[in-house]
């Protein structure tokens, strides 16, 4: 039987990902595996002119914005970890596209299981394929998509 050693949970602060944390905690305890939490900060998109274009680099306009987002996300993730009795040292935040960052980070830490919510907070993404769907296709390790009802 395979014993998972490193379990990565992708957290977007939705109810779904909180459920994923609970499930991953159970599995990590069962396998005595290391548990890691990852949140990916998506750079906000801004309209440059009405209906014309979108900019993914608001940093040029608001230099502190990304820094503030990173600080707020780190605090929120650490708090969520604490409420689940998970050490702050297991929390990581990255910036970029969640679907690629989750897979890259899983490879980097040699995770053998990624646990995520079947759904999340995103709305627009549903039209072009969800984060979970993409990670399921791209990941080099097992992926568990947790439902709210399970
Ligand atoms: P989605 O596919 O966007 O509906 O989200 C499904 C799941 O993907 C969530 O429950 C999370 O586990 C994960 N996820 C989505 N966005 C992020 C993010 N920005 N950072 C980390 N995990 C995410």
pLDDT digits (tens, 9 = 90+) for 9-50: 999 999 989 999 999 999 999 999 999 999 999 877 666 666
- The answer to whether the CB of 119 falls within 8 A of the CB of 16 is yes
Q: How far is the CA of 90 from the centre of ligand 1 (A)?
A: 18
pLDDT digits (tens, 9 = 90+) for 64-119: 888 888 999 999 999 999 999 999 999 999 999 999 999 999 999 999 999 999 88
Q: How far is the CA of 67 from the centre of ligand 1 (A)?
A: 21
Ligand 1 contact via 116 beta carbon (within 6 Å): yes
pTM of the model: 0.89
Q: From residue 147, how far is each of 25, 52, 63, 72, 120 by CA, in Å?
A: 15, 38, 38, 27, 10
User: Which percentage of the chain shows pLDDT scores above 90?
Assistant: 66
CATH class of the domain comprising 6-44+65-146: alpha beta
DSSP characters over 24-48: HHHHHHHHT-EEEEEEEEPPPPEES
pLDDT digits (tens, 9 = 90+) for 88-97: 999 999 999 9
């Amino acid at each position: 039987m395979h014993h998972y050693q490193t379990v990565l949970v992708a957290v977007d602060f939705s109810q779904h990902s909180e459920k994923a944390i609970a499930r991953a905690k159970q599995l990590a305890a069962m396998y005595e595996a290391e548990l890691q939490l990852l949140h990916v900060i998506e750079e906000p998109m801004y309209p440059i002119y009405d209906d014309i274009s979108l900019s993914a680099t608001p940093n040029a306009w608001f230099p502190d914005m990304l820094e503030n987002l990173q600080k707020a996300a780190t605090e929120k993730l650490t708090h969520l970890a604490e409420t689940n009795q998970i050490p702050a040292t297991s929390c990581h935040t990255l910036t970029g596209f969640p679907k690629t960052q989750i897979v890259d980070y899983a490879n980097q830490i040699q995770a053998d299981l990624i646990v995520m919510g079947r759904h999340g907070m995103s709305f627009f993404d549903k039209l072009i394929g969800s984060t979970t769907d993409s990670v399921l296709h791209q990941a080099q390790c097992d992926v568990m998509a947790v439902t709210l009802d399970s």
